[in-house]
Amino acid sequence: MQISSRFTLAVHILACIEIFKDSCKVTSEFLAGSTNVNPVIVRRILGQLKAAKLVEVTRGSGGAAIARPPEQITFLDIYRAVACVGSGSLFHFHENPNPDCPVGKNIHGALDSKLRQVQDAMERELSAITLEDAVRDTRELL
């Protein structure tokens, strides 16, 4: 199982916006060139980031800008913005375990709290990393 590539695309997009903000107009076409994905996908992700108030987008060829300082945007903010998981749960349980099976009728009780613990740990780690961390590391590699 993998988390959707929308998350890494969103981080890439935000890093580009921040790194190139003073040297050029950062448009969806520009971002598509950097990410090597279709501009429609970039615009969709920008729309999600805008809805989460992480970016401001000017219609037409106005470009995009980060809505708040990069050190105030966590990876968890980005992760949540692009809806990498449905209904807030990282793990999707199979729908109807057999209630007549001893394992089937008890599997939720055995796993639910453990899976919540794993998700909580991942979210803690994501909240400890900021967009500024990614931007700084990218600039060091330029």
- pLDDT tens for each residue of 68-96: 999 999 999 999 999 766 556 777 777 78
Backbone phi, psi, residue 110, to 5°: -80, -30
- Whether the CB-CB separation of 9 and 45 falls below 8 Å is answered with yes
Give the model confidence (pLDDT) of 109-123 as tens digits: 999 899 889 989 999
Q: Does pTM surpass 0.95?
A: no
* Domains of the chain, earliest start first: 6-141 (1.10.10.10)
